[in-house]
Amino acid sequence: MKFDSKLVFNEILAAFITDFLNTSILCLPLAVQKNRASHFANTIQIKDQLIGVLKRNNRMLNTQLKALNINCQLDRDQQKDHTDSLVSVLSKLAYALRRIADKL
């Protein structure tokens, strides 16, 4: 499942703006309006930082998954090589046993 950070950001921002507008900031005294505006700016900054952290974590998870996929593929290839070698040895052993049995 792919993480869409733009969609999450838009949803968070829309919810925040709706909540901000519902507080009726324009009906408040000027000091309270400035406090709310400062709080709004701080909240936006925190959300931007959170989105940055989420994006960075998403990149790290993608890198880890790619490395895990590569390691799993290498393990499968190595296991296939070992299986092929074992089948080859067992075939040669069966052939040798058949030749011995034919001589008896």
Using pLDDT thresholds of 50, 70 and 90, give the confidence band for residue 100.
very high
Domains of the chain: which residue ranges? 7-75
Q: What is the pTM of this model?
A: 0.49
Give the chain as a 3 state SS string.
CCCCHHHHHHHHHHHHHHHHHHCCHHHCCHHHHHHHHHHHHHHHHHHHHHHHHHHHHHHHHHHHHHHHHHHHHHHHHHHHHHHHHHHHHHHHHHHHHHHHHHHC
pLDDT digits (tens, 9 = 90+) for 38-94: 766 777 888 888 888 888 999 899 999 999 999 999 999 999 999 999 999 999 999
